[in-house]
């Protein structure tokens, strides 16, 4: 399902993205909660200003990843968004693709058709397909989530894959 949001996107450039961890939860525009029962953990996927926050809650505590243009302002942030980073029990891999107009439109349509397992938000702005899309799953005691951040005026898609073992 795509949520069509009527707000001004806060993140309008792929090169402004960074990542931070375990900060405060910013204002959430739309979210989805995934329960890993019988494992005692949940994963909240949240769209914020054209970017995302993922929060894993367990009895032992909370882990939060924020990928946004505001993340570089956090104390423990990485900017620009690294190709790969490993921290305790966590891995982030990113890819930035600048595409032709035709390839961008094709990829955007595929992402927009993600299905019920995806949280997809559409923002107003330059060009069609200003989207943020997220999905997550819990397998073999590990959370894994994926995101797409689409910037139609740049014809750029930033994709991420994160793994966290509570």
Q: What is the pLDDT of residue 82?
A: 95
Q: What is the pLDDT of residue 9?
A: 67
Sign of the torsion angle spanned by Cα atoms 46, 127, 109, 83: negative
Q: What is the pLDDT of residue 126?
A: 67
CA distances from 132 to 11, 93, 97, 140 (A): 10, 17, 15, 27
pTM, full prediction: 0.94
Helix (H) / strand (E) element for 47: namely strand 42-48
* Residue extents of the structural domains in the chain: 2-164
Q: What is the pLDDT of residue 106?
A: 97
Length of the chain: 166
Low-confidence ranges of the chain (pLDDT < 70): 9, 11, 126
Q: What is the pLDDT of residue 83?
A: 96
């Amino acid at each position: 399902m795509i949520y069509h949001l009527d707000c001004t996107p806060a993140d309008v450039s792929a090169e402004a993205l960074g990542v931070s961890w375990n900060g405060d939860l910013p204002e959430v525009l739309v979210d989805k909660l995934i329960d890993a029962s019988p494992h005692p953990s949940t994963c909240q996927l949240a769209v914020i200003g054209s970017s995302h926050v993922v929060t894993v809650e367990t009895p032992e505590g909370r882990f939060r990843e924020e990928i946004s243009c505001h993340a570089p302002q956090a104390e423990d942030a990485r900017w620009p968004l690294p190709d790969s980073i490993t921290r305790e029990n966590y891995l982030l891999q990113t890819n930035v693709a600048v595409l032709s107009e035709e390839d961008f439109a094709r990829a955007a349509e595929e992402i927009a058709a993600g299905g019920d397992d995806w949280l997809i938000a559409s923002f107003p702005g330059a060009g069609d397909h200003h989207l943020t899309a997220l999905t997550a799953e819990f397998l073999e005691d590990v959370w894994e989530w994926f995101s797409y951040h689409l910037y139609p005026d740049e014809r750029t898609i930033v994709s991420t894959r994160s793994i966290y073992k509570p």
